[in-house]
Structure 1
């Protein structure tokens, strides 16, 4: 057997470029099904892997990565309307567009 030295840890910036064919929302854990970062979402029975992430995971990714032009909040802060948070952690469409542009 040949000796193979341990691999060096890969920086996140390179890891995300190598995973470019995956949806960028897979960079965060899914609040709906509990899938870990960089793992696909699953059905409630955990038997099937889904090809697309849950909408809640996409909203969590948008919330963590983009500034919201509609309500002027920073990344990591939930969107609000008249001081009240949006229902179920939703985000404004402008913020989602900003996150898609940033990921591209």
Structure 2
């Protein structure tokens, strides 16, 4: 077996090796435009934030979890009576996404 010191790490392992980071950083932030795996920043002055924006958390939950409240698949926005919720997801979907990430 040959060991390559500069071999790229598989994405599945890279995500779990990022200790102390919120799993929502695995998606790009729709609010500030931060790339995936990069910290959110304040658009006005470029200061980095320790926690992701709420819009990034909802985008992550939407991409990774099924919503138990409105029964939509991952990648589909939550809705109330057929009307999509703008940039929001139900609270139960956040819980489902956090359980999936754990």
Q: Deviations for 1:54-101, whole angstroms, at most 9, x for unmatched residues?
A: 000000000000001111111000000100001x32001111100011
Question: Unaligned 5+ residue runs, structure 1?
Answer: none
Q: Is residue 4 of structure 2 the alignment partner of residue 11 of structure 1?
A: no
How do residues 63-82 of structure 1 correspond to structure 2 at under 5 angstroms?
Answer: 63-82=62-81
Q: Deviations for 1:24-74, whole angstroms, at most 9, x for unmatched residues?
A: 000000000000000000001243100000000000000000001111111
Aligned with residue 98 of structure 1, among 96, 99, 102: 96
Distance 1:54 1:10 in 2: 27
Scaled by the length of structure 1, what TM-score is found? 0.89
Q: Is residue 55 of structure 2 the alignment partner of residue 56 of structure 1?
A: yes
Aligned Cα root-mean-square deviation (Å): 1.3
The runs of at least 4 consecutive aligned structure 1 residues that moved more than 4 Å come to none
Equivalenced residues, count:
99
